[in-house]
Amino acid sequence: MHALVDPAILFFVFGVFAGLVKSNLEIPPAISRFLSLYLLMALGLKGGFALAQSGLTPQVAVSLSLAVFLALFVPWLSYQCLRHVLGGFDAAALAATYGSVSAVTFITAMNHLETHGLAYGGHMAAAMALMESPAIIFAVLMANRLRGLSGSPQAPTEQRLSMGKVLHESFTDGAQLLLLGAMLIGMLSGEQGRQAMQPFSGDLFKGMLAFFLLDMGLMAARNLPGLRGQSAWLLAYGLLSPLAHAGIALGLCWLLAVPQADAVLLMVLAASASYIAVPAVLRYALPEANPSLYVGLSLGLTFPFNILLGIPLYAHVASRVWA
């Protein structure tokens, strides 16, 4: 309950309320885009400053390797579950959506840890960046395989071009480049850079996050109608899969002795679902899939669940395991 008293979370709840009562409150798209880029830039800087202090250690390598493993395993596992209740293309699209990550959920979890005085590694921002693209690649490979099995007339050359474009968009996405670039700048500038950027990346951060979560609440409310008519199995998946994926991350983190705060962030990353980057690519790569399904489920159900209940739950469970 303490997490719901956080102003940023309360602004998210207020945004959902405003959307449900059909208020004309809205954040202009340009400002929403700016807020998103600001949060990624601030996150990258924070991670870079922390890495400048700690350096690249074996523990960092373990956490990053685990992040890559989860980014490969979660979409595969999701597809194995979803192909029994959905068509192949919809199953692949939803598996990619839930196999990738939500930057806003991650940033909210990071804010939760800071509020509770738990220190996490700066490399976790890099872990988030590493976990975004593998699920997209998985979806494209599965789509090409499904087209081949269905006897699609699409030529192999066209498929290779499609994969090349998807890979280029995945690895050169502006938001992801900004995150990694800001992290590199933070590492190079170190403590002196941290002090210089504190008013920007530190003092403003909480307010900017609250403003952005207000916008996310409005978006979540707008996507709730997309859940109407969906099967109970899919709605259950939208709530239970985050718990299952977080549980897998928890077990691996405990086995590999990942620090508690880093484990919480890996749990959050494994439990989150993409609703911006992956859907944008899927509309091009998997036009056969239903966008209202993967966007509605991830943004209308899983995102609010993680923001309101998931993050404090994952942190609480980790604190009990690491006690």
- The CB-side HSE value for 36 (13 A sphere, CA atoms) comes to 18
pLDDT of residue 14: 92
152 pLDDT above the threshold of 60: no
pLDDT of residue 1: 47
- Mean pLDDT for the stretch of residues 55-78: 90
Q: Is 121 helix (H, G, I), strand (E, B) or coil?
A: coil
pLDDT of residue 295: 84
**Measuring CA to CA, which residue among 315, 267, 68 is closest to residue 60?**
68
Confidence grade of residue 154 (pLDDT, cut at 50, 70, 90): very low
pLDDT of residue 240: 94
Residue 117, Ramachandran bin (φ over 0: left; ψ between -120 and 50: alpha; else beta): left
Work out the angle at residue 198's Cα, subtended by the Cα atoms of residues 194 and 199, and round it to the nearest 5 degrees. Answer: 155
57 pLDDT above the threshold of 70: yes
Domains of the chain in start order, with CATH, are: 30-321 (1.20.1530)
Mean pLDDT estimate for the chain = 84
Residue 257, Ramachandran bin (φ over 0: left; ψ between -120 and 50: alpha; else beta): left
- Percentages helix, strand, coil for the chain (3-state, rounded to 5) are 80, 0, 20
pLDDT of residue 18: 93
* Residue 289 phi, psi (nearest 5): -80, 160
Residue scoring higher pLDDT (267 or 10):
267
- Mean pLDDT for the stretch of residues 283-308: 85
Q: Is 174 exposed, middle or buried (0-12, 13-18, 19+ CB in 10 A)?
A: exposed
Q: How far is CA 133 from CA 36, 124, 143, 170, in A?
A: 18, 16, 16, 6
Provide CB contacts within 8 A for 82, sequence distance 6+. 90, 91, 94, 95, 237
2 pLDDT above the threshold of 60: no
Lowest mean per-residue pLDDT among 189-198, 241-250, 278-287: 278-287
- Mean pLDDT for the stretch of residues 173-194: 83
pLDDT of residue 161: 41
282 pLDDT above the threshold of 50: yes
Residue scoring higher pLDDT (292 or 257):
257
pLDDT of residue 269: 95
- Mean pLDDT for the stretch of residues 188-199: 89
- Mean pLDDT for the stretch of residues 208-223: 88
- The CB-side HSE value for 42 (13 A sphere, CA atoms) comes to 25
- Tally Cβ neighbours within 10 Å of residue 83: 16
Q: Are 68 and 44 in contact (CB under 8 A)?
A: no
